[in-house]
Amino acid sequence: MKIENLLKQRTLDSTINVKNSIVMAPMTTFSANPDGTVSVAELSYYKARSKGVGIVITAATNVQKSGKGFPGQFAAYNNSFLPSLKKLSQTIKGEGALAILQIFHGGRMAIPAEIPGGQTISASAIAAEREGAMTPREMTEAEIQDTINAFGETTKLAIAAGFDGVEIHGANTYLLQQFFSPHSNRRDDMWGGNLEKRMNFPLAVIAQVKKVIKEDGIKNFIVGYRFSPEELENPGITLDDTLSFIDVLSNQGLSYLHSSISDFWQSSIRNASSTNPIICSMLDKIHDRVPFIGVGSIHTPEDAIKALNSGATFISLGRELIMEPDWVSKVQTGDFSKIRTTLNKTQRKSLDIPEPLWNTIINTPGWFPMSK
């Protein structure tokens, strides 16, 4: 194995040095304070996992009150959250990693009980295909513009808080994906209809984020975009839809693209007759125009080397860094056999896992591999 490939320095935007190829994936912790500020437990959790990796992408933070997607989610929709965000960026950067704030709106997947008025909003008044899902209210033109501007305002907060960049969360069934999806977007105006019009909202968010950064005058500020390649709904996002979108995204001057899939080498979840890994199609479409972060069930150094050899620029570790905060240092010292790839029920405190996250892990069979 060429471990040096994992540990070799990379660059973003030609000038930003990243010490290695390993990224901490964005994962919600359910552990913020009741007022939406980052908790002490979360700071400890991030500190433990920031010391070896090149980049840390935080859990998603909501850009508007109406966008809260998780219980215990930390927020970033006005200046009152600036001190909290500063603590988070300083904790991550203090361990030598670049700090990226993931920004999002939950749309129809927001929590009705925790948003103003209890009514979710989305591109169209179409409920998600899941039990008990609320039918959202279709967003007005004014609400669309306000939400675009909110992504910009949260980017200003990220800059003021000392983050190295933001990741625009366009994946995992949340609002930006809802505008791109033919299931959740049935509009017939400039924000929906054909494939190209369904791209307009996420592209407008990207443009607003980049505008804010330019107006601020900050240099070398990272802007990434995360996407889900397919969805199971009918009609839903197909891989062909996403390849068309990737083609456009690759020309937006972004710092990177980041997929959201459960297995790096998975084939299509919509087309059972296709057995080719979709990662190959995505990388072919990107064609080296923008760095790519790959993710999905990567646990061992062997897994990571194989994924890098696909052509990905960076490798994102999610569950693995929860189980093994010292993953990078153990790779550096060659202690591969000591890398944890399972959890047991005695490890919460030693691994600095906040209790709400731990309880979710324990109560979600099959999410993490557990050992006795």
Task: Assess if residue 267 is contained within a domain.
Answer: yes
Report the percent of the chain where pLDDT is more than 70. 100
Strands 16-18, 10-12: pairing is: antiparallel
102 domain residue, yes or no: yes
Residue 301 lies in a domain: yes
Assigned domain for 370 exists: no
Answer yes or no: is 50 within a domain. yes
At 372, which amino acid appears? K
Per-residue pLDDT of 227-268, as tens digits, reads 999 999 999 999 999 999 999 999 999 999 999 999 999 999
Domain hosting 84: range is: 3-362
Count of the separate structural domains present in the chain = 1
- 9 residue type, one letter: Q
Residue 28 lies in a domain: yes
Active site residues: 174
Residue 266 lies in a domain: yes
Q: How would residue 2 be classed by pLDDT, with cut points 50, 70 and 90?
A: confident
119 CB contacts (<8 Å, ≥6 apart)?
Answer: 112, 134, 136, 137
pLDDT the model gives residue 372: 75
Side-chain-side CA neighbours of 188 within 13 Å: the count stands at 0
pLDDT, one tens digit per residue, over 297-337 is: 999 999 999 999 999 999 999 999 999 999 999 999 999 99
Helix H or strand E segment including 51:
none
CA atoms of 194 and 125, how far apart (whole Å): 18
Q: How confident is the model at residue 62 (pLDDT cuts 50, 70, 90)?
A: very high
106: tokens are: 């939950």
288: in domain: yes
Q: How confident is the model at residue 1 (pLDDT cuts 50, 70, 90)?
A: low
CATH number for the domain spanning 310: value is 3.20.20.70
